[in-house]
Structures are given as C-alpha cells and as structure tokens.
Amino acid sequence: MTRNRIATAIAMFLMLTMTIAMVAFPTVQAQTLPSFLLINVAPNPIGVGQAAEVNAFLSKPPITASLGGTGDMYTGITVEVTKPDGTKQTLGPFTSDATGGTYTTFTPNAVGNYTFKATYRGLHREGWSYP
C-alpha cells in the first residue's frame, strides 16, 4: 500500500509541475515591428558657411550587424537637400554603421530655408528646415 501512495504522490507532483510550467511560461508570439527612417540636422539655426551635422538613421539596427563593424549594414541611404532657390542636392549614398545610422556634414552657402529629406528603399523622412 505504501508503494501505491508513493507512486501516486510522485504522479501528482509531476502533473502539478507540468501545470505550473504551462501557466507560468505562456506562449510567446513573434511580432513584426515597423521600421522608421529618422533624420536630425543640428544646430538650428545656423549661419552661412557654418557646418551642420546631418544624421540619418533607421529605428532598428541591421539584424546581422555587430559592433565590430561586421555583418550586413544598410546601404543606399541618401539625403536630399532643397536649397532656398529650389535647387536640390543629394548627399550620399551612405552605408550605415552597426547601429543603423550614418552621418555627414552640410554647409549652407546662402541665407534662407533648407529642407532635408532622408531616403532608404522606400522609407522617406522629411526633417529639419533651416530658416
């Protein structure tokens, strides 16, 4: 009779353990998060002949990138600058670093509003305007 009680106790313990594991560790489902292309130009305002830092970056780092600079990086990032006279200048194309970003400088040569637009494979982001 004692063996039956021990076997029953072990079986109950194992069933309880499995039940707790199913409740404590719920199923996780993968989610797809959208990517965003961001742009930052600073300082603002800036004077003619002074260099501005232009930083374009994606909201997610490249999946296979590592901080050592190996793996796949985002390539083909461009920045379109619209000058006060309406002419456009393209900066790039650039390749990202392991964090998903890239930077360059831009020096305005005339007073007025400059508009910056970053582009990467269908993602567009309009940013900073220089008054």
Q: What single string gives the DSSP state of each residue in 52-117? A: EEEEEEESS--TT--TTS-S---EEEEEEEE-TTS-EEEEEEEE--TTSEEEEEE---SSS-EEEE
Of residues 77 and 2, the one with the higher pLDDT is 77
Q: What is the mean pLDDT of the chain?
A: 84
91 neighbors 14 (Cβ within 8 angstroms): no
Average pLDDT estimate for 46-56: 95
Residue 131 has pLDDT above 70, yes or no: no
Of the listed ranges 4-8, 47-51, 53-57, 125-129, the one predicted with least confidence: 125-129
pLDDT at site 128? 47
CATH class of domain segment(s) 37-130: mainly beta
pLDDT at site 34? 79
pLDDT at site 64? 83
Per residue in 59-111, pLDDT tens?
Answer: 988 888 876 667 888 889 999 999 999 999 999 999 998 888 999 999 999 99
Spell out the domain ranges in the chain: 37-130
